[in-house]
Structure 1
Amino acid sequence: MKLFSTAVCLLLCAPTFAQDIRSYVTTNTVRVATLDAASDEYQDLAAVGQAIGDARVVMLGEQDHGDGPAFQAKTRLIKYLHERKGFTVLAFESDFYGLTTGWEKLTQQPDSIRRFLRYNIFPLWARSEDCRYLFQHYIPQSLQTANPLHVAGFDSQLYLSYSYLHLRKDLDSYLVRQGIAGKFPSPAAYQQFIEAVQGLIAEPRTPGAFRPGMRKDLENGLQLVSQAQLAAHDTSAWPRVLASLQAYMVQGDEARDKAMADNLKFLLTNQYEDAKVIVWAANTHIMKHTDRITGKGKDFNRVIFHNMGTYFVQDPLWARQTYVLGFASY
């Protein structure tokens, strides 16, 4: 497994190593015995545990979202981190509101858990055969023990099942309860804002649901709500939900990654302030210090430079407490 992370570092540091790459890899590689997620033998992962040390956050990447062997390897590492290193939360690159809030309200029964995970984590993982053991067996079974593995989301793309069914109603209740609904210019303007929120959430399922005229209603409403939250010093999750909707509306890589970093920080400082957290996402999202990479390609600059990992470790606290492990397979 160490080979996977070493390979990523070598790609970024190749000019420094020059002709010594082969000896560096040979010296620093530790062989992993199996990718079998059901295995309870972890001696071969001791080097990974030593490298992670006392990190509170471990980010597990993947080179793309169809890499089955990486999914298997990550599942085994998740088991190891949960059972041997005290990690109790698994945070996915999936719907921040739906996955996090829905999990809190979920009936903690195996069948309910399986169904919830299937519809509130992106299908590229939730319906992958290589993730079946994690979602169908390990997580549901852990909830029946004294050492449960909890699930959360940090992605600003709020449109999976729970958000689709509940976010509009929950947001409406929150805004009315806080007196923010009454700050809109008129009841009609407020209703147009709420309908624009639902249109944005519904767009992936029903193309055209987010009509062109809704963008302005959403922009104006998000600005008004954000100002009211700031004035009220709102420390709930709702400011992050609104910021996620803003990032989702923008549809840009940089806005999304910045929102994901902020959402992850919220989980660590509020939702799970005493927990050790495993992060599941793409390599390109979790890489840190990408602002130190030199490159002139436009796409490379947009996708890599301004990513979640780099935003996240700008805070020295998280830079010290975060271990990033990239994956590649052939």
Structure 2
Amino acid sequence: MMQITWISGLLFALALPAAIAQTRSPEWDTWLTKNTCAITDKNASDDYADLAAFGAAIKDSRIILLDEQSHGEENVFALKARLVRYLHEKHGYQVLVLESGLYDVEHIWRTTETANTIRSQAPGNVFYLYANSPAMQGLFEYLQTQKQGNAPLILSGMDSQHTGTYARQYLLNDLKNQLNKTGNTKLGNNIFWSKFAELSLALFNMDRTAPDTKTQEQYFQFMQQLKAAFPSSEQYFWQRIVASIEDQARRYWGNRHEHRSAVMGENLLSLLQHRYANQKIIVWGHFVHLNRSGLPRHGNLGHLVSDRFKDKAYVVHFTGNKGSYYNFFNDQNTPVLSFPAKTIENHLERQPGPYNFTDWRKLPPHLKQDVSMQAALSSYIPQGLFELPEAGAHWHERVDGTFYLNKITSTKP
């Protein structure tokens, strides 16, 4: 799930100063007009003719990463849900990986039945703005229906942070059972196990109270033993569960935040290597995690995946120029920031269709180097909330395609 506190120091505004943005060249405008394709807002429709340009852009990709700017945009969720259905039905994508707890979502998928549906299990186990979004309810029902067929769209999680009800109820018992299955019964019966379980459960409840230094040392020493207990590739899932718990403890107790996205990426790479080795994957999460270029001083999921899979990974960005989004920092509907007159969004607003799509991989090399376009893609999140230094000068290296929505609508938590 998305951790609320750490993001306040990161602003991912993709724009350089407005004065630079005003100088965009006519050639750049001409290219945008020719390469921007109208998209409908028929989110419940199975008519995907308007997505042909998007389909052509991603046709050789194994991994599609669908970002979002705030976690609080209802029509972005609806459009992403439509894209998920399209990718599953028309392009054979087989797995949807959400920015939610690795264990929690695994438990949902493993236990879901008609009487115990994905939709009914999502609240309390999936990131709350996903679990309670009206648009997401339709997606959960689609996943449920498809699970009964011959080509299900598998639901998975990737987050290294575990705060769901299932993690609190079952994770530690399941971990002990796995230790017993691997012949490591001594660890499960270790004198420190009860303290380990107590401290880990507090983490799952998002209690950031740090134990004393000696107890922390004992905890992390015990974690090393746990990691050594799952050495084989067949035990990859529990390797990543233990690594995730360790990272959550180090972040909460040390008040550091920067490694979560990279650990999340390692979780995803492990799934890709071991469980979904020959399958096509859709990843759903925040821009901070999914953009190709990483975070200041540290990597992120998008950087790790792009480094491994190169152009087989395609990052899709969603933006707009009007409307509002739900700001989970203050529980308020927040107006979308307006952009300078020469930013890309202002140009895209004038294109046909309530939404539109642009494939930035088609940009000619000389336009990629044109200083007039380097400030052209902006963020509607206020500066001071998310920041990637020098993002404006390198935005085309962070995302591969963009969906523009004429008016962003706020979700309801």
Distance in 1 between the 2:43 and 2:287 partners? 21
SS at match of 2:44: coil
Higher relative contact order (CA 8 A, sep 6+): 2
Distance in 1 between the 2:89 and 2:82 partners? 11
Distance in 2 between the 1:164 and 1:190 partners? 16
Asked whether 1:301 is paired with 2:305, we answer: no
1:236 partner amino acid? Y
1:264 alignment partner, one of 261, 268, 293: 268
Distance in 2 between the 1:55 and 1:9 partners? 27
1:197 alignment partner, one of 195, 200, 215: 200
2:317 partner amino acid? G
Distance in 1 between the 2:137 and 2:115 partners? 14
SS at match of 1:154: strand
Distance in 1 between the 2:22 and 2:97 partners? 34
Q: Does the C-alpha gap of structure 1 residues 301 and 236 become closer, same or farther in structure 2, counting only changes over 3 Å? A: closer
Q: Could you tell me whether the CA contact under 8 Å between 2:104 and 2:126 is conserved in 1?
A: no
Q: Does the C-alpha gap of structure 1 residues 22 and 110 become closer, same or farther in structure 2, counting only changes over 3 Å? A: farther
Q: Does the C-alpha gap of structure 1 residues 32 and 10 become closer, same or farther in structure 2, counting only changes over 3 Å? A: farther
Distance in 2 between the 1:264 and 1:77 partners? 20
Asked whether 1:221 is paired with 2:222, we answer: yes
Distance in 2 between the 1:9 and 1:52 partners? 25
Q: Could you tell me whether the CA contact under 8 Å between 1:157 and 1:248 is conserved in 2?
A: yes
Q: TM-score, normalised by structure 1?
A: 0.81
Distance in 2 between the 1:234 and 1:66 partners? 37
Q: Could you tell me whether the CA contact under 8 Å between 2:161 and 2:244 is conserved in 1?
A: yes
2:220 partner amino acid? E
Structure 2 residue ranges without an equivalent (≥5):
1-11, 323-413
Q: Could you tell me whether the CA contact under 8 Å between 1:108 and 1:143 is conserved in 2?
A: no
1:75 alignment partner, one of 78, 81, 106: 81
Q: Does the C-alpha gap of structure 1 residues 234 and 90 become closer, same or farther in structure 2, counting only changes over 3 Å? A: closer
Distance in 2 between the 1:255 and 1:181 partners? 31
Q: Could you tell me whether the CA contact under 8 Å between 1:181 and 1:190 is conserved in 2?
A: no
2:139 — aligned with what?
134
2:67 alignment partner, one of 61, 70, 91: 61
Deviates more, 1:271-280 or 1:139-148: 139-148
Measured after TM superposition, the shift of residue 278 of structure 1 is: 0.6
Identity among equivalent positions (%) equals 31
Asked whether 1:319 is paired with 2:322, we answer: no
Distance in 1 between the 2:246 and 2:51 partners? 41
Structure 1 residue ranges without an equivalent (≥5):
1-7, 291-299
2:329 — aligned with what?
none
Q: Which has more helix, going by share of residues?
A: 1
Measured after TM superposition, the shift of residue 269 of structure 1 is: 1.7
Q: Could you tell me whether the CA contact under 8 Å between 2:119 and 2:137 is conserved in 1?
A: no
2:211 — aligned with what?
212
Q: TM-score, normalised by structure 2?
A: 0.66
SS at match of 1:30: strand
Measured after TM superposition, the shift of residue 312 of structure 1 is: 2.0
Measured after TM superposition, the shift of residue 100 of structure 1 is: 1.8
Q: Deviations over 1:19-72 (max 9, x none)?
A: 2343332232111022x3211110110100000012111000001110112111
Measured after TM superposition, the shift of residue 180 of structure 1 is: 3.4
1:285 — aligned with what?
289
SS at match of 2:76: helix
Measured after TM superposition, the shift of residue 234 of structure 1 is: 6.2
2:50 — aligned with what?
44
The RMSD of aligned alpha carbons is 2.8
Distance in 2 between the 1:150 and 1:10 partners? 33
Q: How does 1:170-185 map to 2 (within 5 A)?
A: 170-182=174-186
Distance in 2 between the 1:17 and 1:55 partners? 34
SS at match of 2:197: helix
Q: Could you tell me whether the CA contact under 8 Å between 1:196 and 1:217 is conserved in 2?
A: no
Q: Could you tell me whether the CA contact under 8 Å between 2:108 and 2:118 is conserved in 1?
A: no
Q: Could you tell me whether the CA contact under 8 Å between 1:75 and 1:134 is conserved in 2?
A: yes
Distance in 2 between the 1:59 and 1:282 partners? 10
1:26 alignment partner, one of 12, 30, 33: 33
Q: Deviations over 1:260-290 (max 9, x none)?
A: 1111111112222222111100111111034
2:285 partner amino acid? A
Distance in 2 between the 1:110 and 1:199 partners? 31
2:117 alignment partner, one of 109, 112, 118: 112
2:191 alignment partner, one of 176, 180, 188: 188
Q: Does the C-alpha gap of structure 1 residues 110 and 27 become closer, same or farther in structure 2, counting only changes over 3 Å? A: farther
1:295 — aligned with what?
none
Distance in 2 between the 1:72 and 1:161 partners? 26
2:164 — aligned with what?
160
